[in-house]
A and B are shown apart, each in its own frame.
Chain A
Amino acid sequence: MEATNIIKRPKSYIYPAVFILLIVLPKVLPTYQLLLIQSGITFAIMCLGFNLLLRYTGLLSFGHGALFAAGAYSVAMMGKYLPSLYRVEILIPAAICVSILVSALFGFICVRHTRIFFSILALALSMVLYALLVKLYNFTGGSDGIRVPIPWMFGIAPTGVRRMAFLTGNYHYFLVCIFALATLVMSAIVNSPFGRALQSIRDNEVRAEMIGIRVRRYRWYAFIVSGIFTGIGGAMWSFVNGHVTPESAEWVFSGEIVYMTLLGGFTVFEGPIVGAVLFTYLKLYAVSLTQYWMLIIGATLIVIVRLLPDGITGAILKLFAAMKRERNKGAS
């Protein structure tokens, strides 16, 4: 009985299991590994947002790095210019507000187009933000970026707290909670009527319009929601990294976002999460292995696109489905 339940509703078991695993991680993992996982989790929040556009709305954005940077820089700039408000409970909503503003502006321009035109326009806009971050060095710190100090967190002062202690302590639990919340909210969104509207726009724009869905407006909403998630990812990442630089707005990073999502499998809801965490490791080990690490990343991408178009999670699900079929065949 129990076994069939797990097969029928695996999420109700896997989600809590992963949550508990993440919560106990600081007790079992060395600090260095934990920081890697944390950075993977922040990317996962971002990729969830990215995939709302790619999988559910059918729009491939090559400019999501800019939205990530918007979140990260809003934290860093608050630390630099408004130190009295440098508290996590203010920083995250502030990052969300900035993300909404930036993505509303970018989205307003981009959603007038689809396919490659949308992608290129998003890329162009992200490079505008990149150029601003680099050139306005008096304000943004230029290519040196801005240091991100330890913030106040729910009334706990950062004085005398070392960064590692902060990251492996309270901040880790906060990050895991935000991640869990983001996953649940995104899962609710894609299964809601609004999510259906987006998928119908992806499937058939003309018909969607003819049943009374405002196609452009809904694409814009999707872009903004996607931007919020990406911005939260950026804000959470800035604390883990301790430093923000304009590179996060550059097209290379935007490309990495696409890569992470494809690696994990964009057709599966959880795919981007898996992809983001795996990518963090893949990149690290590739870099430590050889100076031609980009070759490894590129070769992996070719393998994924050619052999595993549904990414790693898609391949695993297919494997399970095939095993189930085999078993049923054996039974009957």
Chain B
Amino acid sequence: MLKVSNLVKEFGRVRIINSATFQIGQSEIVSLVGPNGAGKTTLVNLISGHILPTSGKIEYLGKDVTFASPYKRIKMGMARNFQITNLFEGSTVLDNIRTCLLSAQEKIHKAFLPVSHYKDITTEAIEILNIFGLSEKDKLLPASLSEGDKKVLDTAMAFALKSRFLLLDEPTSGVATGDKFKVMDIIVAAIRKGKMSCLIVEHDMDIVSDYSDRVLVLSEGAILADGKPSDIMAQSSVKEILFGVR
């Protein structure tokens, strides 16, 4: 589904991503872990087209998208959330989702009938809010949501684009520790149900081992290890990087 080969990104003379190579298959949930500053968010930004790489290649669905615009990638079925929540602060929770659905279903340019006229969109938006447990907060503005709910809404918006490939940058950062698993249960169940592929950036190793099919360990911009969660956790080099123990 997604094939990244020898990807390099330099900011000035600093090499953030150093020849990263990996693949993600159909309906596979892959976690990306690594210490602070390893380049996880940069990698996500490169894949989503937010920033462009210095060299290397990104192939998506067999097509070269290395320098394709974010818009083009979204229309090819790639969606992302944001580590620091990026919501439409002036619109209600329901409208945040509805805007995504309207855009995904190519109805966003229609300029005469009110949004409420598109009943199927509203029904679908409410369904998505149900899946993510936000249905009772549909009329609130994002500002009055808890930090955890904001994160869930951010992910729900990416989910609403009905993409085949989802990039989730720390979907549980800022969520209270006790709620993390609940949030991940919701997100992963929705992804599995939609048969989506997914790359999740995550810090919490318990979450990584519980929810992902495969783990990529990123260290200083390169993929250090790639394999099943249990195998990865057993490797001493990984332990050293992630936990500082031998």
Residues on A lying within 8 angstroms of B by beta carbon are 188-189, 191-197, 199-200, 202-204, 206-214
CB–CB B108/A196 < 8 A: yes
Given A200-B99, A207-B82, A211-B99, CB of A193 within 8 Å of CB of B87 = no
Say if the beta carbon of B110 comes within 8 Å of chain A.
yes
CB–CB B90/A212 < 8 A: no
Given A200-B99, A211-B74, CB of A194 within 8 Å of CB of B86 = no
Q: Specify which of A193, A207, A209 lies most central, judged by the most chain B CB atoms within 10 Å of its CB.
A: A193
Say if the beta carbon of B102 comes within 8 Å of chain A.
yes
Q: With A193-B107, A203-B89, A211-B100 given, can you name 19 additional A-B contacts, CB distance below 8 Å? A: A191-B114, A192-B114, A193-B102, A194-B109, A199-B88, A200-B91, A206-B86, A208-B88, A209-B70, A210-B80, A210-B82, A211-B79, A211-B99, A211-B103, A211-B104, A212-B75, A212-B104, A213-B103, A213-B108
Considering the complex, give the chain B residue whose CB is closest to the CB of A187.
B114
26 A-B residue pairings within 8 Å (CB atoms): A188-B113, A188-B114, A191-B114, A192-B112, A193-B109, A193-B110, A193-B111, A193-B115, A193-B118, A194-B110, A194-B111, A195-B111, A200-B88, A203-B87, A203-B91, A204-B86, A207-B88, A210-B48, A210-B70, A210-B79, A210-B82, A211-B99, A211-B104, A211-B157, A212-B71, A212-B108
CB–CB B87/A204 < 8 A: yes
Write out the residue numbers on chain A whose beta carbons fall within 8 Å of the beta carbon of B109: 193-194, 197
Q: How far is the CA of A332 from the CA of B69 in the complex (A)?
A: 57
Say if the beta carbon of B98 comes within 8 Å of chain A.
yes
Q: How far is the CA of A211 from the CA of B111 in the complex (A)?
A: 18
Given A189-B111, A212-B71, CB of A196 within 8 Å of CB of B86 = no
Say if the beta carbon of B196 comes within 8 Å of chain A.
no
Say if the beta carbon of B202 comes within 8 Å of chain A.
no
Considering the complex, give the chain A residue whose CB is closest to the CB of B96.
A200
Total interface residues in chain B, CB < 8 Å: 35
Considering the complex, give the chain A residue whose CB is closest to the CB of B142.
A203
Q: How far is the CA of A204 from the CA of B90 in the complex (A)?
A: 9
Min C-beta distance of B65 to chain A, whole Å: 15
Write out the residue numbers on chain A whose beta carbons fall within 8 Å of the beta carbon of B74: 210-212
Min C-beta distance of B170 to chain A, whole Å: 16
Considering the complex, give the chain A residue whose CB is closest to the CB of B98.
A196
Min C-beta distance of A147 to chain B, whole Å: 37
Write out the residue numbers on chain B whose beta carbons fall within 8 Å of the beta carbon of A208: 88
Say if the beta carbon of B161 comes within 8 Å of chain A.
yes
